[in-house]
A and B are shown apart, each in its own frame.
Chain A
Amino acid sequence: MRNDWRARSHAGWWAFLVHRVSGILLTLFLPLHFLALGLALEGEAALDAALRWTEQPLVKAAEVVLVVLLAAHAAGGIRLLMLEFLPWREWHKTLLAVAGGVTLAVGVGFLLNLV
């Protein structure tokens, strides 16, 4: 018999889930990203058309999600490396809070056109 959500509802498991889901979504995005960049090989017009397509509001909104996913995955990855490769200490929830804060700050900053 396997565990259900009652066994998994703690910070470390949620952090894993965010890391895994953001990782999968970013992996799905990457080929599309390269495909779009590859349009440059077909000439200026093709790339410009693609870039104009990304100006649509819905695509812009998706871009914010993408930045948040990237921030979450990067901050989560640095959190794991620090937790496992630095001498062990009881700071995994602090690291999680910092990673969450960084993700939020990057997301809000991008939304407000700060970066």
Chain B
Amino acid sequence: MHPTCQHLSGVSLDEKTSKKQDAGKIFLEEVTSPPPDQRGLKRFGRILLIPVLAVFTGLVIGGIFIALTSENIYEAFGRSFGAGLIEALQTVGEAYVALFTGAFGSPVRIITALQSGDGLEIRRAFNPILESLVTSTPYIFAGLSVALGFRAGVFNIGAEGQIFMGAAAATFAGYALKGLPGIIHIPLALLAGAVGGGIWGLIPGWLKAKTGGHEVINTIMMNYIAFRLSDWLLTGPMKRPDSFSPVSPMIEQSAMLPRFFDDPIRFHLGFFVALGVAWLVWWFMFKTTWGFELRTVGANPFASRYAGMNVARNTILAMTLAGALAGLAGANEVLGVNHYLAMAFSSGYGFDSIALALLGNSHPLGVVLASLLFGTLRNGATPMQVSLGIPNDIIMVLQAIILMFIAAPAIIRTIYRLKKPTKEQPVANFKM
């Protein structure tokens, strides 16, 4: 009873500030509200505490799911309870070891490879961790897209569609422009991707600003349009002339993001471009007047209007930039990994990125860290499936559980008996 009531009284306080705001607004506030005023390591620890515990709890519960879905374990439990328990722990352990080696590489293999001095073997040994970075890269771009939207008070559910449009535009720039040097062609193709995604964000942004049409609905609809549009492009105007499958032509060599190592390592420049863009987004959001306006509009549109800001213009700007960032995710995949456009190539980066932005507290640094986690989990899942027959879907279950805990920090606080960071107490003596 006691905690419930405290919670209730807390709700009433919040009501005061959030009246006349829809549920989405309240949610956004929850997501983007900075932690209580603390500096340095303590603050950093506070921010990281919940995500880290959520990941840990997710792994524990994911382990239970792995155990539940393994037939051996039921068999072992049939023999005796102890045997079942041992079998369960062993299976889960093996699964997570496979996940780990799939994501980071096997230490044993790395050492033997280094001792043998065989170039190919060394590259193969180091491939998993670099491949995790490759998988993380589109997540960074798309996560930044959603995070920027959150900060500016808009829900960009349309990252997936923007990824497709960005990829289509980048692909076109990649194969249609010929004879350019890489130093011009690559930025141009990336720019095309940003513009393609940006247009796909601008449309719902403009609709929201001018007509009040809700961006959640409109970005979802824009997703469908983007999927079918890219299908049509691949079967029509952008179809590879000599191919029966619906794929685009290969992009020119000069448009490919350079790779740092020989095959099979696909690690490419895109990762560092993503880090650079993350820094740029951070600088834009927190150091410029544009970013200040975006964040103010996102945090309190009434006050931003009072302060003379143009709410409509900022909404359009936010959605356009969000679209451009997602478009870069698509461009990155085409220019760095696939080198051509195929149907359904993105497989949900845009949707995962919504969750990822939440996990990263809508801060560029948080997004980068969350992207690394997601990329790693996704990359480690395949070997887990191949070597142990544990379904790939477990990783999705794991991600879902982690995100549920992130979205509802109260659960984590309850499990680990953490105190809610209170706002009144640290400054209560100043109220007197």
A interacts with B: no
